Amino acid sequence: MSKKGRVKGDKPDMDIEALQAANEELRTKLTNIQIEFQQEKSKVGKLREKIQEVKQEREQEQHKHTAYVSELKAKLHEEKMKELQSVRELLIRQHEQEVARMVKIKDSEIQRLQSTVNVLRDGAADKVKTALLSEAKEEARKAFDSERMKLQQEILELKSGKKQLEEALNNIMQADKMKAADLRMAYQSHQDEINRIKRECERDIRRLVSS
């Protein structure tokens, strides 16, 4: 009789031990989940730090690119101004030389005409007078045509130089646009990768919490 009572008394003890074992197992699992959660939280923190580093690097790269473009534009403008100043000075020197040459020619022409006038005044024939005047007109026309051709050639050279400078500036601007497009693509690629990693981390955290 006492033996049966002892068996019945042991059963609650076994149930309690089973509950304690299950409770201990649950605590162990909870501890493991908390450890994994802290690890994942640490990973997320590191990921955020990495995202911040990438953002800072991108901002630095954009700042460098902007500074480079500004410096390049300033340098190109300075070189263009120097080139234009050099061309201007050259044209001024050429003009001064041409003016001096024309003055010399005119002085010579005046002297020759004065000599002709003196000859005519002394009773030279009308034919001589007409021939000399015709010769003077022809020489003046030739000098004018020569001067006009030189000026037209200088204008063409200036237009050509201007076109070359504009083409060089356009090429630089196109290269800057391509560089900016590459930077935007690289930034978007970084953003996509960061978003992908964030989604994976969030999914893993939800899976750990729900398991």
Sign of the torsion angle spanned by Cα atoms 49, 53, 56, 58: negative
- Whether residue 104 is contained in a domain is answered as yes
- Whether residue 4 is contained in a domain is answered as no
- Whether residue 7 is contained in a domain is answered as no
- Whether residue 31 is contained in a domain is answered as yes
Q: Mind listing the pLDDT tens digit for each residue in 27-43?
A: 888 888 888 888 888 88
Supply the pTM of this predicted model.
0.33
Q: What span, in angstroms and rounded, lies between the C-alpha atoms of 30 and 35?
A: 9
Work out the pLDDT band at 163, boundaries 50, 70, 90: confident
Work out the pLDDT band at 7, boundaries 50, 70, 90: very low
- The distance from CA 86 to its chain's CA centroid, rounded to whole angstroms, is 27
pLDDT for the residue 128: 64
- Phi, psi for residue 125 in degrees, rounded to 5: -75, 155
Tell me how long the chain is.
211
User: Cα–Cα–Cα angle for 177, 178, 184, nearest 5°?
Assistant: 90
Q: What span, in angstroms and rounded, lies between the C-alpha atoms of 197 and 40?
A: 12
pLDDT for the residue 119: 64
Residue 95 belongs to domain spanning: 17-203
pLDDT for the residue 130: 72
Work out the pLDDT band at 121, boundaries 50, 70, 90: low
- Whether residue 54 is contained in a domain is answered as yes
Judged against a pLDDT cut of 60, whether residue 205 lies above it is answered with yes
- Whether residue 191 is contained in a domain is answered as yes
Share of the chain above pLDDT 90, in %: 0
How many structural domains comprise the chain?
Answer: 1
End-to-end CA distance of the chain: 48
CB proximity list for 133: less than 8 A, separation 6 or greater: 116
pLDDT for the residue 93: 85
Closest CA to 110 of 86, 140, 88: 140
- Whether residue 9 is contained in a domain is answered as no
Judged against a pLDDT cut of 60, whether residue 124 lies above it is answered with no
* Range 49-70 average pLDDT: 79
pLDDT for the residue 4: 46
Sign of the torsion angle spanned by Cα atoms 31, 36, 42, 44: negative
